[in-house]
Structures are given as structure tokens and as C-alpha cells.
Chains A and B, each alone.
Chain A
Amino acid sequence: MIKYIIRRILESIPTVIGVTIISFVLIHIVPGNPVRIMLGNHYTPLRAAELTKTLGLNKPVWEQYFIWLGNLLQGNFGFSYTYEKPVASLMLQALPHTIIIVVVAVLLAHVFAVFLGSVQAYFENSKFDQIATVINYFFYSMPSFWLAVLLVIFFSIDLPWLPSGGIVNTQLSNPGFGDWAKHLILPIATLFLVSVAGWARYMRSSMREALLQDYVRTARMKGSREFRVIFIHALRNSILPLITLFGLSLPALLSGALFVEEVFNYPGMGLLYWDAVNARDYPIIMGVTVFVGLVTVIGNLIADILYGLVDPRIQY
């Protein structure tokens, strides 16, 4: 097992390095110059040349890449152009905010999708199933930023129940936990809704198949009641494909978080990345890219390990 994990991590190193090369080249190809953006109104060709040299941007791209990679291997993510702070500390500041919305949304979405999909499969083609399928498709086909905007219009403007962005109400003298939690509801709801829809569809088809298996007939023949048949006998088999799907859907989930954080002006990794892209703040862009690559690798690894725990036929 330990050997398997180490092997998988070693195998993923070339992939992650490949991703960083592609990203590095891409951000240099994309028009827009960080120096120009940083200097703004104070721009003069002389100052620009000086700053370009200070930042090392005058060197060839491949040389810049190897300098960056060398620093990274020593644990140094570099220094942000715009914030003038170490990239690592900026990411560490943003990370908890993203973790809380993504983890809560993913957990809730999984539990709910597993339950909804199972019940839909059991009552296949009933009114309930049909209505749920339509609603699923509605959210499944909706881009996350669009859904986020709709939720803001509805819950923050039409019915001003929830804040439209940020993490704290600056007008309160002593904003507490309740205020913070209120700011989390809409970002979490957006990520939850767009994820539930897809997973529930998978769960429905997976459970549908499981319910037709011979071992389900055996379970009924033993005298199991239907609740037990579905949630003990069929469920554990039918969540197997969902575990793999979870690993594969992590990148999509993180890019969903990017748009959601932008719409809600929520100070997580997504917003950090978004602002960095606009400012051509290369060190931050590359730092977040490495982070997302690592999360994807680790997420897939966790999915594999979970799969092995649930399915005894898998040996590592």
C-alpha cells in the first residue's frame, strides 16, 4: 500500500512538471505585460526597462522557467509583483477560505447526490424521478458563474436575505461567526448545486444497474426489507463509479470555485488566481498552477485508495 502510494506520487511528477511548462509558456505568450500594468501612470520606457531587469523578465523564457523551477524545488514559490509579498504566504492566507467552501459543498453534494440518485433509481420513471431528472439537467447544464449571478440577484437583491459577496460585513461593529457563515451560504450553494446535478445522474444509473444484480435478489430472498436492500446491499456497489468520478472531477470543481469566488468577491485561491491573471502576476499564477496540479494528483490518489477500501476485489 505505502509502496503503491509512493509509486503513484513519483509517477505523477512528470505530469505536474509538464503542466507547469505549458502554463509557463502560455502566460508568456498571452498578450499583456506585467511591467506595464505595474507601472500604470508612472510608465516611462526607462523605468520599464529597469523593472523588467529587476524582475528577471529580460531573460529568455526557458531560462526564466528553470530559475523558477529551481526556486520551487527549494520550496520558494517566488515573490508576487503586485502584492510585494511571498506567493506562499498569499496562498496560505487564501487557502482556508477555499477549502471551507469546496469541502463543505463537496461533502454535502455527495451525500445528497447519493441519496437522491438512489431514490430516483428505485422509483425509476415515477413522477418524482421525472421531476428530479428535469431539475438535475437544469443545474447540470448551467455554468457555475451564471448560477452564482442568478443566486445573487435572487437572494441578495430581490430578497435581500444574504450578502452578495466578501466574507465580512464591514458595517457591523463586531461581525461574528453568524455573519461569516452567512457569507459562505451562496458560494457553497452554487458549488453544491452544480456538483449535485452531475453526481446524482451518475448515481441514478449506477444504482439502477446495481438493483438488477443477482446479489440484490439474494438479499431480498434472505428476507431483507427494501431499505436494507437499497442502502446496504446495492449502495456500496453503486458508489464505486462515483469514487472514481470524484477524483476526475476535482479540476472541474476547482475551476468552478474560481468563477464562484470571482462573482462573490470571495478571498480564496480562485480570486487570488483571477486577480493575478489580470495583473499578469506570473509568480502567483504559477504558484496556484502547481497547487492545483498537486491537489489533482492527491485527489486521484485518495479516490483510488477509497475505491480499494470499498471494493475488496482491488489489491494494490
Chain B
Amino acid sequence: MSEVLNITSLSVEFNINGEYYHAVNDVSFHINAGETLGLVGESGCGKSVTSLALVRLLAKSAKISGKALYNGRNLLDLSLEEMHQIRGKQIGMIFQEPMTSLNPVYKIGSQISETLRLHNKISNDEAKRQSLEMLRKVGIARPEEIMEEYPHQLSGGMRQRVMIAIAMINNPQLLIADEPTTALDVTIQAQILDLMRNLSRDFKTSLLLITHDLGVVAEMCDRVAVMYAGQIVEQGLVDDIFFNTNHPYTQGLLNAIPKIDVQNKDRLQPIVGNVPSLTRMPKGCRFATRCPHAMDRCKMESPPLMEIRENHQSRCWLNDAKVV
């Protein structure tokens, strides 16, 4: 199976009051053709920064290092012109904020066909025809009318469908979806996830799905990378993550999912405490302050990402103790 995306040692630093701090620290993962990888973690863990760094949409002041190979080409080394040709054509992206991600002063139709016309030499009529077809594919009723409407006339769910149409219309090989359903109602969430699953299957698109919701991961993903405070802390097949959970942070996220069959509400346990801020990263394991199993060693030494079984890695000293 060929790799569409291969990230190696990606780090991102921001300048805060004159000093550089890591928001993303030595992150590595890959996505195979046609595969869906879930990037999971609480808010503030560096998921969005990771995805924006890949497509070079962070402010110029951000310091990025490492490699991000897209079909073998390092995105971080490409010229701006080469990036313009990749964005929107080979890599599509959907954001968390459907209400503000469309331009308020242009019609839906022109915002979709713009993406086509930026990358293909086609006539106005042809662009319009293809945009209409794409609106139908993303499940929008009355597409002819919607083409002539403005974003403020559409609901959040509809706008996210339009964003998906924009991201998918050039049939990209990779779709990055950054919390695509977080801002939507629960019923709409399920519809949008269904739509993304079906489209990425039909278009044979690889998907990097960013979310803080392990429920979404269970439904959508083949593999999962769990991120905490700028690092990957556990990575593996979706079944291993759910049924052979290794890292206490992943376990914490799992405990926090509401389960319908649980009568006793006390079983729903959110992780106590907060993600540490960039400027105050603990010296040892970054999760130690919130971890129920933390040992002295965890507070002193930062654990490496260890291979605990085939295709399953975890960054926890508990595994080291077992080995020794």
C-alpha cells in the first residue's frame, strides 16, 4: 500500500514574548492511500497547528521543522507557487467553523466554481455545471437555488456541506478535516460524517480526520494517533486503541465518552486538570500531572514513543517497567 502522506519529526514553534515555544513537538505519522487516520486529543493539544503546518497556512512567524512528504515530495520545501497548485487541487481541507469559513459577500456558486477555475482551464458554463453536480453529491436539495444564494442564507450544516463540496470538487487525494462536525448539532453531525465517509470512499480519498471525539473516531477511522500537549502519545489501529488501550491519556479520553448502556452516571469520568500551556511544559512526561499512574520517574524523564506491539506505539514509562 502506498503512502499518501508521511510526516517525520514535525515540530512547530511559536514566538511568544520573544521566546520560541513548541506547539508541536517531533510528531510523526503516515496515511496510506484510501485510509482514514484519526488525530485525536483535547482542545489545545496542537492538532490544528499540525494540520495547518502541513499545508503551510500558519503565519510566517511560526518556525516549522521536520518533513511532510506528500507522494514523496516534501511540502515544507516546495515553492509558494507549487503550494498554490497543491492546495485545493491535491489536498482539500475543511475547517471547524462552518459559519465563518465561507466568504459572506460572494454567492455559493461562485465560491465553489472558483476552486475549479483556479486549477482547471474550463469555461464558465462548465464550471457551473460541475459545481451544481458537486452540490448534489454533498446532498444539497435545490442546488440550482443554493448556487445563487449567499452564505448567511444557509444553516451551519448546509454551509459545512458547501465547504465539503469546495474541498472535494477537484477530487483531491488527501482531505484534511479539522473538527468538521464540532460546531454542528448532533443529528447534523452524523449526516456530515456519513457524507464524508461515502465521498472519501467513492473518490478514493485519504482522510486526515481531526477530532476530540473518540466516538467519531470509532465510526470513521482505520488508524488513530492520539496527541497530547504537542506530542503523539499513542498510535495504532482503531481496534487496538479501543480494546488494547495502553496510554493513560487515551484511557482517560475513553472514560470520558458518554455510554448509553451505563446506568451509573458516576462512571463518566472526565480527565481532571488542563492541557499544559506552551510556555509551561512539564520537564518529564507531559501528562504526569494529570495521570492516575504517575511515578517519580514520570516527573523527571520524558518517555519516548515505544513500540508495544506490531503497529502500536505508546509514550508511557509503564511499558518500560513491564519490559524490564
Chain A residues in the interface with B (C-beta under 8 A): 213-215, 217-225, 233, 236-237, 310-313
Contacts and interface: CB of A to CB of B under 8 A. Distances in A.
B267 interface: no
A214 B115 CA distance: 16
Given A214-B95, A312-B150, A223 B119 contact: yes
A215 B150 CA distance: 13
B118 A218 contact: no
A218 B105 contact: no
Q: Which 9 pairs show the lowest CB-CB distances between chains A and B?
A: A223-B88, A222-B88, A214-B100, A215-B103, A312-B150, A223-B87, A222-B115, A214-B101, A221-B93
B101 A223 contact: no
A316 to B, nearest CB: 15
Given A222-B114, A223-B85, 16 more contacts: A215-B102, A215-B103, A217-B95, A218-B102, A218-B103, A218-B166, A219-B103, A221-B88, A222-B166, A223-B86, A224-B88, A224-B114, A310-B105, A312-B104, A313-B104, A313-B150
B103 A312 contact: no
17 contacts: A215-B100, A215-B103, A215-B104, A217-B101, A218-B163, A219-B103, A221-B55, A221-B57, A223-B86, A223-B87, A224-B118, A237-B103, A237-B105, A312-B105, A312-B107, A312-B150, A312-B152
Contacts of B95: 214, 217-218
Interface in B136-194: 150, 152, 163, 166-167
B233 to A, nearest CB: 28
Contacts of B259: none
B97 interface: yes
Nearest to A310: B105
A214 B166 CA distance: 14
B84 interface: yes
B247 interface: no
B89 interface: yes
Interface of B: 55, 57, 84-89, 92-93, 95, 97, 100-107, 114-115, 118-119, 150, 152, 163, 166-167
Contacts of A223: 84-89, 115, 118-119
B84 A225 contact: yes
- Specify which of B85, B92, B106, B167 lies most central, judged by the most chain A CB atoms within 10 Å of its CB: B106
Contacts of B166: 218, 222
A59 B95 CA distance: 74
B87 A214 contact: no
Nearest to B93: A221
A219 B100 CA distance: 12
Contact of B97 (A214, A219, A222, A224): A214
Contacts of B86: 223
Contacts of A237: 103-105
B104 A311 contact: yes
Contacts of B101: 214-215, 217-218
Given A223-B87, A223-B115, A313-B152, A213 B100 contact: yes
A224 B87 CA distance: 8
Contacts of A310: 105
Contacts of B57: 217, 220-221
